[in-house]
């Protein structure tokens, strides 16, 4: 049975070219980048070269790119350090952020007594900018706005320029979790009204366990992980050199082939929307994920009009991998926090959500396989 992978928002298959760069680096660059001898200096130069590439491709200076172990760490570094070192007393965010932001603000509220305010969102998951402005007007405390760019579950693209401009008007800092958009869109970080952003290599065909934080120089943030002072004293620990090399190659490849990839993958998504609409009566596309202008081009979130707790298993038997709600650490499927936030309980209890996410390695044939399976399952439920 051939297998179909349609869970690219969870992680992507690495490009062969990325693996080649990493393997070469493992053979050649084994020196500790902090060592002052020749081997160390070569490793250090390899890291700095990737920093330059990423800085150039995102329009910022090299000093503003800090390598981390993942997107989760980048978000933790930014949120926690803003509280610890920049005197932030209040965070304005949404209830549909990735759990690494949600859980971190929960912890800051509980342990550091930071005030957390949630911006209202509507039933499509859209942010109420008027409410954001009201919240920003209502405080003299040092405030950080933390709102993601692309939502990993319902695919909404948030208006980060408007959000950042509002934050600036009210002297608030602005952080955006850009894990689903950096490496997928051409983004000039310098031109955005933004102080901090996060990225993760495994979302754009790079290796797992490596990412970066964008930290605007003027913000003077400090480290959460202390020790040897690596990463300009912002993140100690011997660098994941080979991961960083892979991330550099993956980022370059993502940007080099961006237009072709975007149009190929967007067409796959449009094809999936049209085929699913025909094959599954009353299917619902969640959030803005059906809207090509306002959603991630590689992510489609659907709700099937019946409850089927075994759907993951049924699709697995047919060799199809998609995402159901959010998988917790144990691998068990939990109800989607994001969908529960925007939809009434009766809808959640009577439907089955799935997230389908595409990459350049997918074809229309993969979508046909999924649509046939979902059509058969839907027919079984209509009897
Ligand atoms: N933020 C978003 C929006 C994500 O989709 C993810 C990963 O699913 C993360 C953060 C966490 O990234 P990482 O897996 O690199 O920790």
- Residues 90/140, Cβ–Cβ less than 8 Å: no
Q: How do residues 129-177 score in pLDDT, each as one tens digit?
A: 999 999 999 878 999 999 999 999 999 999 999 999 999 999 999 999 9
Structure tokens, 139: 């405080």
What pLDDT was estimated at residue 332?
Answer: 61
SS3 222: coil
Residue 328 has pLDDT above 60, yes or no: no
What pLDDT was estimated at residue 331?
Answer: 58
Q: How do residues 92-129 score in pLDDT, each as one tens digit?
A: 999 999 999 999 999 999 999 999 999 999 999 999 99
State the distance from the centre of ligand 1 to the C-alpha of 36, rounded, in angstroms.
Answer: 34
What predicted TM-score, i.e. pTM, was given to this entire model? 0.97
Ligand 1 pocket: which of 100, 209, 326 to mutate (most atoms within 8 A of CB): 100
Query: Closest ligand 1 atom, CA of 70?
Result: 15
What pLDDT was estimated at residue 327?
Answer: 54
Structure tokens, 143: 């405030």
The β-bridge partners of 150 are: 157
In whole angstroms, what is the distance from residue 6 CA to residue 322 CA? 5
pLDDT, average across residues 23-39: 97
State the distance from the centre of ligand 1 to the C-alpha of 251, rounded, in angstroms.
Answer: 16
Ligand 1 pocket: which of 203, 240, 328 to mutate (most atoms within 8 A of CB): 203
Confidence of residue 199 (pLDDT cuts 50, 70, 90): very high
- Residues 271/265, Cβ–Cβ less than 8 Å: no
Between CA 371 and CA 379, with CA 376 as vertex, the angle to 5 degrees is: 120
State the distance from the centre of ligand 1 to the C-alpha of 114, rounded, in angstroms.
Answer: 23
């Amino acid at each position: 049975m051939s297998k179909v992978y349609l869970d690219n928002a969870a992680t992507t298959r690495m490009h062969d070219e990325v693996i080649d760069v990493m393997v070469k680096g493992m053979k050649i660059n084994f020196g500790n980048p902090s060592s002052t001898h020749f081997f160390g200096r070569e490793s250090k130069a390899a890291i700095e070269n990737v920093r330059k590439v990423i800085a150039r491709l995102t329009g910022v200076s090299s000093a503003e790119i800090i390598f981390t172990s993942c997107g989760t760490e980048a978000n933790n570094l930014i949120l926690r350090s803003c509280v610890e070192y920049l005197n932030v007393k209040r965070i304005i965010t949404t209830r549909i952020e990735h759990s690494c932001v949600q859980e971190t603000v929960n912890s800051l509220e509980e342990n550091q007594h930071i005030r957390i305010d949630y911006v209202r969102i509507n039933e499509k998951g859209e942010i109420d900018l008027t409410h954001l402005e009201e919240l920003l007007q209502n405080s003299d405390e040092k405030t950080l706005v933390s709102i993601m760019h692309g939502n990993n579950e319902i695919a909404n693209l948030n208006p980060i320029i408007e959000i950042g401009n509002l934050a600036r008007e009210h002297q608030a800092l602005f952080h955006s979790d850009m894990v689903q958009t950096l490496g997928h869109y051409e983004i000039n970080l310098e031109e955005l009204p933004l102080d901090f952003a996060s990225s993760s290599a495994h979302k754009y065909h790079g290796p797992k366990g490596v990412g970066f934080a964008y930290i605007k120089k003027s913000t003077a943030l400090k480290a959460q992980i202390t020790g040897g002072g690596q990463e300009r004293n912002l993140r100690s620990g011997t660098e994941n050199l080979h991961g960083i090399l892979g991330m550099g190659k993956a980022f370059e490849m993502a940007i080099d082939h961006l237009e072709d990839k975007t149009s190929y993958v967007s067409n796959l998504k449009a094809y999936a929307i049209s085929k699913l609409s025909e094959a599954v009566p009353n299917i619902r596309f969640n959030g803005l994920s059906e809207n090509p202008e306002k959603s991630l081009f590689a992510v489609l979130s659907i709700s099937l009009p019946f409850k089927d707790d075994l759907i993951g298993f049924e699709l697995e038997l047919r060799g199809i991998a998609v995402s159901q709600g959010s998988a917790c650490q144990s691998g068990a499927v939990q109800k989607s926090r994001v969908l529960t936030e925007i939809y009434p309980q009766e809808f959640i209890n009577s439907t089955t959500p799935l997230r389908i996410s595409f990459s350049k390695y997918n074809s229309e044939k993969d979508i046909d396989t999924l649509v046939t399976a979902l059509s058969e399952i839907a027919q079984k439920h209509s009897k």
